[in-house]
Amino acid sequence: MELWYTEYQTSSVGITCKTKKTYHTEKTEYQELALIDTEQFGKMLVLDGTVQTTIEDEFVYHEMITHVPLFTHKNPKKALVIGGGDGGAIREIIKHPSIEKAVLCEIDGRVIEVSKQYLPEISCALDDKKVEVVVGDGIKYVNEHKNEFDVIMVDSTDPVGPAVGLFAVDFYKAIYDSLKEDGIFVAQTESPFFHKDLITKVFNDVKSLFPITRLYTCAIPTYPSGYWSFTMGSKKYDPLETDTDSIPNIDTKYYCPQIHKSVFSLPKFVADLVK
């Protein structure tokens, strides 16, 4: 029997994948969780019917949410990931030799456990000795940790349920305070095709707090529209001024020194969202 999975990305558009197997489904305290295997994208983590990550394209998202800010910062030692319970961002962070500690703050412990069980390719660094895993609300965590991090990455679900507050200006203010005086933060900020108002609002909120605010984009086939954005707020370092010749070679599939700056060159319709 053929079984197909559909994510309804908007009220009129979806993505549909032929599945090979359903490994796991459950209702956690926070959301419906599913781990399925798809023919095109391999194993896929789904929360509340929405694709979170897949084996085939996860590298794009996890490399881009981490390496762009980490190589913009001159010497990141302590990093925080909010959300991202699959561990993909953590796996990338600990590739940086200067990193001494990486904290993951994920609200739903079941996402971490199921990822460890079924997605070892992605979650493999969660037991690293440099990594601390906190199961809790990212908003509470940043409010309780001031002036502590060099880089903070908000690897969150779409702005529904427990993630609503992760797209609010008060949260960005708390992140600002949780960063050291030359800290940088990046948040995933959805699709330039489908979430235009959100991108504009987040950019303006971040700009009201941080001296340097930048938007960058990349291609992620399993996320709505296949085209995704990240918003960066930086207290001191400008990614457009990074000395890309000095970026060391690390094991990546998408990120490279050449695209460190080029991802900030935006198509006109995207540039118009943040002008």
137 is in an annotated binding site: yes
| CB 124, min distance to ligand AAT, A | 14
Least separation in angstroms between residue 3's CB and ligand AAT is 22
Calpha distance 268→208 (Å, rounded): 23
**Tokens standing for 262?**
């080029």
Q: Footprint of ligand AAT on this chain (CB under 6 A)? A: 30, 47, 50, 52-53, 61, 82-86, 88, 105-108, 111, 137-139, 155-158, 162-163, 166, 188, 223
Return the sign of the alpha-carbon dihedral for residues 9, 136, 138, 91: negative
Give the nearest distance from C-beta 138 to ligand AAT in angstroms.
3
Least CB distance to ligand AAT at residue 258 (A): 24
| Residue of 128, 144, 126 whose CA lies nearest to 136 | 144
Distance of alpha carbon 244 from its chain centroid, rounded?
22
Q: Is 106 annotated as a binding residue?
A: yes
Dist. CA 91–CA 113, nearest whole Å: 16
User: Does 157 belong to an annotated binding site?
Assistant: yes
Report d(CA 48, CA 31) in Å as an integer: 6
The dihedral sign for the CA sequence 265, 269, 274, 275? positive
Catalytically annotated residue among 108, 155, 182, 243: 155
- Tell me: is residue 150 an annotated ligand-binding position: no
What value, to the nearest 5°, has the Cα angle with vertex 152 and ends 114 and 30? 35
Q: Is 158 annotated as a binding residue?
A: yes
Note the maximum CA span of the chain.
57
**In the complex, which residue's CB is closest to ligand AAT?**
83
Q: Tell me: is residue 127 an annotated ligand-binding position.
A: no
**Residue 155 bears catalytic tag:** yes
Pick 145 or 237: Cβ nearer ligand AAT:
145
Nearer to ligand AAT, 163 or 263 (CB): 163
Kindly state the smallest distance separating residue 109's Cβ from ligand AAT, in Å.
9
Comparing CA positions, the residue from 41, 40, 38, 50 lying closest to residue 8 is: 50
Helix (H) or strand (E) holding 3: strand 3-8
Is residue 232 within 8 Å of residue 211, measured between CB atoms?
no
Residue 275: DSSP 8-state:
-
**Binding residue numbers:** 31, 62, 86, 106, 137-138, 155-158, 162
Active site residues per annotation: 155
Binding positions for spermidine: 62, 86, 155-158
